[in-house]
Amino acid sequence: MERDRSITLGDIEQAQERFASERANLVARNAVTSAGVRSAARDPEIASRATTTFDIQLEQGEICDQKRSGRCWMFASLNTMRYRIMKKLGLKTFELSQAYPLFWDKYERSNWFFENIIATAADELASREVAYLLRDPLGDGGQWDMFRSLVKKYGVVPKEAMPETACSSSTGDLNKYLTRYLRHGAKRLRDAVAGGADAAELDAIKRELMDGVYRVLAICLGEPPATFDVRIRDEKNELKASGAYTPQAFFAEFVDMDLDAYVSVINAPTADKPYMRSYTVKYLGNVVEDGTVRYVNLPIEALRRAAVAQLEDGLPVWFGSDVDQGFLRDDGVIDPEALDVDRLFDLPIEAGLDKAARLDYGESLMTHAMTLQGVNLDEAGEPTLWRIENSWGADRGKKGYDIGSARWFDEYVYQVVVDRKYLTAEELAAYESEPVELAPWDPMGALAL
């Protein structure tokens, strides 16, 4: 018997009757049409539970603001580094330049894009991989491993050495016009390969294109300093640091961080990614000579354990999550129970998929990077609340901070970056094993914005 695939007038009439027969539907309709879904679903009791005092609480300084850019992964990374500078020099606050790594990321990512275009030049233009490369070659988002590559090569500078510009604070036009230029370059390179160009000719075209990339970036962001003078005073006006530095020397002396000691640990409980395995993502990276990203996939308990251990040792934790899930932005509360959407609609909207299914069916992935700055623990030493430093300015949430519940961490945190000493010998061996390469569009290749 053939199925009737159409919606009939009878179906609509029955749906209308069922809707009108339930008083809760009418109350929900009135609330949502007046205030919106989040306001109507907001649970005030959950919102009121968020504390601002924690068992372990690191003091980080003034909240930073990424403004109209997708640089959260840079801000979160720099926030872990500035903490070390503040601690070393006894400062209440300090800020590293976020425009400086933005310049070098765009520059390196352009080169990464051109190299991938050359490598796939024999593939059909309509192939899925070439289409993927062309779709968004220069977006703002990124990963910890990509930031590590930038710092290892270029170092860091204080904010005053390379301050924000209109184009770093709002990257839309920079990305738009530079992306168009990159696609023009992709056509030139593919046409050259089709015409029989040799390696030397391709290299000459790419270097000419990269000169154009540098010109656009320098016009929009200013040129990054090769050297700069440093004068840093504390709250008592005592001079704590002075002299001329290169970006690499400044990082070495004041951040003093072994970048290679920090590893990315993910939680992807899907059937295609067994735990205790190392993974990488095809085409995901920026600095060609440093290669692609690498993760080890572990149960969520391992991410919790390692994050708590690093906080207990007095260091913040970079992490990536699906930040919008259960997020009361004005309250600064992130908790799946804070928005009772299922009861509002009387449907299994939140409860319908578990973490693995959300990844498999495109419902969730990492969207935003922040830093863990504190945690509350129960009697068993398990986290109950997390103190989160965001990069959206101090005029929202808990003066720029957010409070994440234990359940939110388990359900929507996908990545933490911790010192390898917090992994067991077995976990570290899994990280160092030959990685399985994931497809470019795999959800674990999502970029934090």
Task: Name the token pair of 277.
Answer: 């395995």
Domain boundaries, given as residue ranges, for the chain: 56-445
Torsions phi, psi for 323 (to 5 deg): -70, -25
* pLDDT at residue number 143: 96
Q: Is 182 exposed, middle or buried (0-12, 13-18, 19+ CB in 10 A)?
A: buried
What pTM did the predictor assign? 0.97
pLDDT one-digit tens code per residue, 425-436 = 999 999 999 999
b/e sequence 104-120, b meaning 16+ C-beta within 10 Å: bbbbbbbbbbbebbbeb
The Cα–Cα gap between 420 and 107 comes to 30
The Cα–Cα gap between 145 and 131 comes to 24
DSSP string, 122-143: TS-TTSHHHHHHHH-TT-S-B-
What is 56-445's CATH number? 3.90.70.10
- How far CA 146 is from CA of 129, 154, 241, 252, 347, in Å, comes to 21, 12, 29, 19, 40
b/e sequence 188-199, b meaning 16+ C-beta within 10 Å: bbbebbeeebee
Catalytic residue among 64, 79, 368, 376: 368
DSSP string, 381-449: S-EEEEEEE-SB-SSSTBTTEEEEEHHHHHHHEEEEEEEGGGS-HHHHHHHHSPPEEEPTTSGGG--B-
Give, for 304, the enclosing helix (H) or strand (E). helix 300-312
Residue 72 is a catalytic residue:
yes
Beta-bridge partner residues of 318: 371, 417
pLDDT one-digit tens code per residue, 327-380 = 999 999 999 999 999 999 999 999 999 999 999 999 999 999 999 999 999 999
Residue 237 is a catalytic residue:
no
Catalytic residue among 79, 175, 376, 390: 390
Which of 269, 250, 279 is closest to 439 using CA atoms? 279
Give, for 145, the enclosing helix (H) or strand (E). helix 144-154
Which of 136, 115, 135 is closest to 125 using CA atoms? 135
Residues of the chain with pLDDT under 70: none
* pLDDT at residue number 50: 82
Residue 368 is a catalytic residue:
yes
Q: Which residue has the tokens 């906080």?
A: 311
* pLDDT at residue number 52: 86
Catalytic residue among 64, 72, 167, 220: 72
Give, for 212, the enclosing helix (H) or strand (E). helix 199-221
Which of 74, 69, 120 is closest to 95 using CA atoms? 74
The Cα–Cα gap between 330 and 336 comes to 16
Which of 101, 243, 239, 84 is closest to 159 using CA atoms? 101
* Pairing, β 368-377 against β 317-321: antiparallel
DSSP string, 312-341: HTT--EEEEE-TTTTEETTTTEE-GGGB-H
- How far CA 57 is from CA of 180, 293, 312, 400, 413, in Å, comes to 45, 30, 9, 15, 20
CA torsion sign, 404 to 405 to 410 to 416? Answer: positive
Which of 261, 279, 71, 277 is closest to 168 using CA atoms? 71
pLDDT one-digit tens code per residue, 35-68 = 999 999 999 999 988 888 999 999 889 999 999 9
The Cα–Cα gap between 300 and 266 comes to 8
Give, for 251, the enclosing helix (H) or strand (E). none
